Structure 1
Amino acid sequence: FAMRSARFIDAYQKGLNGMQATWAIKKYRGHHVLPQTILDKFDCPLNILIHILC
């Protein structure tokens, strides 16, 4: 529970919203923190839809 909460905190600090944070945490679940490049994936609204649906 603590590690999952820490990942959400890290995602929010990097500027992700709840839906983006949930997707990123699932994708990078083996990592202690999300990579800084995660923000690049959410620059375009089309990328958000593609990543959510995949």
Structure 2
Amino acid sequence: MSSTVAIGREFEQKNVDLLKAKNVQVQNIWEKKALRGNGLVNGSSQFPKSQIR
């Protein structure tokens, strides 16, 4: 019984780690989109291309 619980917890932890990794990736993508959006809204001349990645 205890072995299945341990496996379940390990599996859960892996899922949590995967979710965290995905959230970080998604957050980075949104931040990049926001930066690009701000550059376009405020005028691309204000933001050098090198600053927007």
- TM score, norm. by length of structure 1: 0.30
Specify the structure having the higher radius of gyration (Cα): 2
More helix by share: 2
Name which structure has the greater RCO, CA cutoff 8 Å, separation 6+.
1
| TM-score for the superposition, normalised by structure 2 | 0.31
